[in-house]
Amino acid sequence: MIERKAQIFNIQKYNMYDGPGVRTLVFFQGCPLRCEWCSNPEGQLKQFQVLFKKDACINCGACVPVCPTGVHSISADGIHIVDRDVECVGCRRCEEACFQTALAIVGESKTISELVEIIEEDRAFYQTSGGGVTLGGGEVLAQPQAATSLLQACKQCGIDTAIETCGYARPEVIQKVAPFVDTFLYDVKHMDSERHREITGVHNEMILGNLIWLLENRHNVKIRMPLLKGINDGEAEILQLIELLKPYQDHKNFKGVDLLPYHKMGVNKYKQLGWKYPVEGDPKLSDADLERIENFIKKYDFPVSVVRH
């Protein structure tokens, strides 16, 4: 029997931000959204990606002869070129040949058993801290079969599970995965559907519908709200979210709201992918702005905290 595999692009250990206790984060490749501020753009597509640090490259050409598909070449004037129209097959030969570590290949296929083995390595930390595994991305629900298999395997091993999700998935996908998830870290990026489409590429009706289903069916949910100045930090916008959540305010499965301030961690990755960074200006909120929003939400007796990475 062939074992199911997951396409991932990172595994991060000893995380303290994405779920209770000490967590191991598994980042799944592929995402249906194109959020302008995405901090993991290398996880948006399911195929292998080439990260190229142009400033570190000495244009030696060592990567050119080892690439089987011709992704790399040296121009007539001696400059290293990465052809983004040519498919990378993930062999990593260019990465190995690069003397300056100017190249990194993103993407890796791992079996569920391999992932469970890596997650199990830190069981002692999970037990002492109340931690476990968190699946993120990209968007973990873009690979629903692999995600369900991994979550189910972790539950069978007695490991606490969480997923960080944008919620943009067919209702049957959410409902199938839910029994194996101890906590949903659920992004709400904007309450207005048309504005949501403008900044993420999709409308939000399915996202909000899935959120309501989870809350009504008593699955543990913590709301995560990325905050960008002038985009979703207004009191009217936040009040819409409060009104949506009010019916579930006293439910034990509603775990409150995390505010995620905008940061520029993804900017260099866009450059290394050869992509233009979509955010113009600097939508970072000041400490005073964050305190204002936090206090505004507290006025309605909602548990709320600012998560600073």
CATH code of the domain in which 119 resides: 3.20.20.70
**Tokens matching residue 31:** 């995402």
11 and 65 share a domain? no
pLDDT in tens, 221-258: 999 999 999 999 999 999 999 999 999 999 999 999 99
194 and 240 share a domain? yes
**pLDDT at residue number 134:** 98
132 and 208 share a domain? yes
29 and 125 share a domain? yes
Say which CATH number the domain at 73 has.
Answer: 3.30.70.20
CA 70, 75, 79, 83 torsion: positive or negative? negative
Which of 106, 128, 143 is the last residue before a domain boundary?
A: 106
164 and 82 share a domain? no
Domain membership of residue 270 (yes or no) is no
Domain membership of residue 54 (yes or no) is yes
53 and 170 share a domain? no
Q: Which residue range is the domain that position 67 belongs to?
A: 49-106
Domain membership of residue 229 (yes or no) is yes
101 and 115 share a domain? no
Domain membership of residue 117 (yes or no) is yes
CA-based diameter of the chain, in Å? 67
**Tokens matching residue 230:** 């002038």
Q: What predicted TM-score, i.e. pTM, was given to this entire model? A: 0.95
**pLDDT at residue number 1:** 61
Neighbours of 295 (CB within 10 A): 10
Q: Collect all residues with Cβ–Cβ distance below 8 Å to 9 and sequence separation of at least 6.
A: 27, 28, 29, 40, 42, 43, 49, 106, 107, 108, 138
Domain membership of residue 56 (yes or no) is yes
One-letter amino acid for residue 151 of the chain? L
Domain membership of residue 14 (yes or no) is yes
70 and 175 share a domain? no
Domain membership of residue 158 (yes or no) is yes
Whole-Å CA distances, 284 to 188, 257, 287: 18, 19, 10
Number of domain units in the chain: 2
Domain membership of residue 273 (yes or no) is no
Considering only CA atoms, which of 64, 107, 58, 109 is closest in space to residue 82? 64
**pLDDT at residue number 264:** 87
39 and 78 share a domain? no
Which of 79, 106, 133 is the last residue before a domain boundary?
A: 106
For residue 15, what is the DSSP state? E
Residue ranges in the chain modelled with pLDDT below 70: 1, 309
209 and 94 share a domain? no
